[in-house]
Amino acid sequence: MRKTVVAALVGMAFGANATSMDNIRISGFGSVGIGKSDNAIGYAGYTDEKLDWEQETLAGVQFDFQVNERAKFVTQVVANSRYDYDPKFEMAYASYDFDSFTARAGKLRLPLFFYSDYTDLGYAYPMIRPSQELYENIVLKGYTGADLLIPIELEDSSLLLQPLVGIGTIDEEDSIVGEVKLDQLYGLSANWNVDDFTFRGSYLVAETNPSCDFNTSTDPYCRHLAPLLDSQDGQFISLGAQYDNGDLLVNVEAADVQIEGQFYDYQSVSGLVGYRINEFTPYLSVSWVETTDNDERENMTITAVKESMNYERISYSIGNRWDFAKNMSLKADVTYVDYRDTSGGFQTNVETSAANPFMATGNYLEDSSIVYSARLDFVF
């Protein structure tokens, strides 16, 4: 069905007459990534089994249909190797420009972090991938609903406010408990630009509701973990600051995520420093994440799950971006991850009993991981 819709969109665009083509803009992007880890834990999706091409390879196309001077419709389709290249609508929304603000409705990106609007667009950010400790802990990238973009011009700066409301869905492929709905989702994001500085913050709340029937399911994750997310209120807060003068780039972001009940809360921080030297941008980054409510899971009977939900880790990355041709960049990165005497948040790192795979022994398989990766990004 999705492939049929994508084909229809392409057919509509290229089948338009010369006059209407002036109102259609087609753009695209893609990435080809390769990497390998020194062990089987799976940090950033990579293991030591083989050189893996399927974690960061994707292609996307975006259609911007200008309805009139004030209204437009935008849709973005992405085929990601993580999901067997099944085309997915990442954005599909209508927008209307009023005199002092823009209103949008449909499937939109969640404004969680600096790079949230284009996490699939690798060419748009300097590092090989956004922080695993900050960005990848939030598997929800978009929502269906409405928002307002309200620009406010100040004397020596500008402010953009973005209130939003809607419903989010964590896809089955991204969750061990299956699909999870985020109902009653609403929040506010703000960006303040002052010369070469940008400051941002977001506050969102929602109610989590898993789709699986944990009362009758035989799946152990659904049966034991889904109840932890049933009708639970969640809160997300993020703050960030960035300095970019065209040469030096410094980015710092932090998040605090809380969910009622036994499902884990955590705090995370990420920092990056990069410097542009002609077509090269070498960078260093550090990221940290730690769960903050481990005491709430003291009596959890499935100890293997408890160990994977009580964790801390810190990563150090060194890399370089090479803009070797117009609209193309090649990135290389080495990341060292310290699991801080915990599972690091990976169930694959929890040693379990031979008699019962859901009972932990209290030991961990690895103390750290090293991931080597490279990525070609392009836009057209």
pLDDT value at 100 more than 80: yes
Which pLDDT belongs to residue 7? Answer: 54
pLDDT of residue 185: 98
**Tokens coding 273:** 């420093």
Q: Supply the CATH number for residue 331's domain.
A: 2.40.160.10
> Can you tell me the mean pLDDT for 103-122?
96
pLDDT in tens, 154-182: 999 999 999 999 999 998 888 888 899 99
Reported as a single tens digit per residue, the pLDDT across 74-99 is: 999 999 998 999 999 999 999 999 99
Residue 231 has pLDDT above 90, yes or no: yes
- HEC readout, 210-249: ECCCCCCCCCHHHHHHHHHHCCEEEEEEEEEEEEECCCEE
> Could you tell me which residues come within 8 angstroms of residue 53 by beta carbon, excluding any fewer than 6 positions away?
32, 33, 34, 81
pLDDT digits (tens, 9 = 90+) for 323-338: 999 999 999 999 999 9
Report d(CA 139, CA 348) in Å as an integer. Answer: 18
Range of the domain at 232: 2-379
Q: Which of 125, 128, 103 lies closest to 114, judged by CA?
A: 125
Q: Which is more confident, 320 or 4?
A: 320
If one counts the domains in the chain, the total is 1
- Using CA atoms, how far apart are residues 351 and 229, in angstroms rounded to an integer? 25
Give the pLDDT score at 306: 92
Tracing tokens 């090269």 back to the chain, one arrives at 280
Cβ-contact 128, 375 below 8 angstroms:
yes
Burial annotation 132-156 (CB, 10 A radius, 16+ → b, else e)? bbbbbebebbbbebbbebbeeeeee
Position 265 pLDDT exceeds 80: yes
Of the pLDDT bands very low, low, confident and very high (cuts 50, 70, 90), residue 20 is low
Q: What is the pLDDT of residue 19?
A: 46
Q: What's the token pair of residue 24? A: 């259609």
What is the rounded average pLDDT for all residues in the chain? Answer: 94
